[in-house]
A and B are shown apart, each in its own frame.
Chain A
Amino acid sequence: MKTYKDLPADGGSNIVGQVTQQVNRLQQRLASVRHTVAIMSGKGGVGKSSVTANLASVLGLRGHNVGVIDADINGPSIAKMMGVRGQRIDYGDDGVKPAISPLGVKVMSMDLFLKDDETPVLWESQTQKDAFTWRGTMEMSALREFLSDTEWGSLDYLLIDLPPGTDRLPNLVDLLPNLGGTVVVTIPSGVSQLVVKKSLTMAKKLLNAPVIGIVENMAAYVCADCGKTEELFPSGNTEEMASQFEVSLLGKIPFDPRISIAADEGSVFVDQYRDTPAGQTFFSITDEIRMFFESQI
């Protein structure tokens, strides 16, 4: 009896061929992207999307062509933070035209596809029972389409805002074998860093790409009246974590309520408040990332 390997094909469906075609399409699209950077954190609520939006905007202000993908399929927030929510997107000649932020950053997010504010991401299915068996695959297929079907054009940087947790990282490796590097966001709390360490371990073990560095968000609070700096989360030690994992600490962003206000308004904090301590830190972190890639040339 012939075995699986003896049979030349799958009878006409060519499922492997169809998947290969998806991979080829992705590679062709990303061929015009110079640097792909994943922004990640094991922990939710550390301000990862806010950091992504501001880093992308600084890169735009520095004159780079930049794109951002909101890989948080179920909790998309990048579109709002970058002021593109409600923008109409449509087909172009070679895919779907992305939304464009006021600073010219190209954005693709599930938020642009959802009907309204209250609508969650639900996939059509005969039953939602036992949806755990296929929902993850749906989400990765959506991310693959965001990457490969968006008309990115030539980009200097494509930032990927990953959802919290470490589970998406292995899938990202399959989608992006040429990932340029990762930036890990944490806050200086012991609980956050406990989780973030797992992400760092996962990133170092699984990814061929280097960890560019750690960003400490909400590092301290600067009093708007007297300018005095107070710690918000005194229990963590980001320097120690960076040292333990032998990665750079790219910068410490002080807490500034205007970052949150800007995100809610869809305006760009780093453009409005570039001379504040937080604004300056976003610029210096971005320059560290640029130098990281320039040093590789």
Chain B
Amino acid sequence: MKFLCLECNTAMEFKETTTPDQGSLTAIFECPDCFAEFAMHMNPWETQMLKSLNVQLGGRSEAAQPMEMVQSFLSQKNPNNLTSEAPVGSTEDGGKCPFASAVTEAFQEQEPTGPVWTPEALERLERVPSFVRSMAKASIEEFARENGHPEITTEVMDTARGNFGM
């Protein structure tokens, strides 16, 4: 899809995506001439289709990891496989993915050490949809730190969930 600013007759440029909301994704485009912005809301099926193709709005700053789509979206994975660091490369076009980098940056700001996850809690975390999993993990870790839990168990997850009003 391409977007045109009717006022300026200029191709609009991708600016950013916002955090997914109930499976839908919002992409914001901006006219480089008049700086008018508009938001495109994609319904959950369109968002899912984008994921199915393993492409990213805004482009990629790094080449896709091997088996990235399978690893990201398969619901219940074998925990013994693909445990080492994945080889990464860079894209030829040097594109960027504001959504991916925004999430990454958000978690780089977290403290490097945190409470320890029990295997049961990790297993439960695996069931959280991948695109919100990192965010959920960070929120629960923050909750555990603030409330003095050195270990994140499924009970701590339940408490955190109640605390978040979910």
Chain A residues packing against B (C-beta within 8 Å): 1-2, 4, 7-15, 17-19, 21-22, 88-96, 110, 112-115, 119, 121-127, 130, 133-134, 137-138, 141-142, 145-146, 149
Contacts and interface: CB of A to CB of B under 8 A. Distances in A.
Dominant secondary structure of chain A at its interface with chain B: loop
A90 B81 contact: yes
Contacts of B13: 11-12
Nearest to B128: A124
Contacts of A11: 2-3, 11-14, 29
Given A2-B9, A130-B45, A12 B66 contact: no
B122 interface: no
A112 B84 CA distance: 16
A115 B77 contact: yes
Contact of A21 (B63, B70, B80): B63
A21 B77 contact: no
B1 interface: yes
B6 to A, nearest CB: 7
A110 B137 CA distance: 27
A96 B66 contact: yes
Contact of A137 (B53, B63, B75, B85): B53
Q: Which 4 A-B pairs have the closest CB atoms?
A: A126-B23, A12-B14, A149-B66, A137-B52
A18 B14 CA distance: 15
Interface of B: 1-4, 6, 9, 11-14, 22-23, 29, 44-45, 47-49, 51-60, 63-64, 66-87, 91-93, 95, 129-130
Given A21-B92, A133-B49, A13 B74 contact: no
Contact of A134 (B48, B66, B83): B48
A115 B9 contact: no
Dominant secondary structure of chain B at its interface with chain A: loop
B71 to A, nearest CB: 8
B59 A14 contact: yes
30 contacts: A1-B6, A1-B9, A2-B9, A7-B2, A8-B11, A9-B11, A10-B14, A11-B3, A13-B56, A13-B95, A17-B93, A17-B95, A18-B60, A19-B55, A88-B81, A89-B82, A90-B82, A90-B84, A91-B86, A94-B87, A96-B82, A115-B77, A119-B76, A121-B74, A124-B75, A125-B73, A134-B51, A141-B52, A145-B54, A146-B67
Contacts of A91: 66, 82, 84-87
A127 B87 contact: no
Contact of A12 (B49, B53, B95): B95
A18 B75 CA distance: 24
A13 B9 contact: no
Nearest to A24: B92
B69 A141 contact: yes
A65 B63 CA distance: 29
A90 to B, nearest CB: 5
A9 B85 CA distance: 34
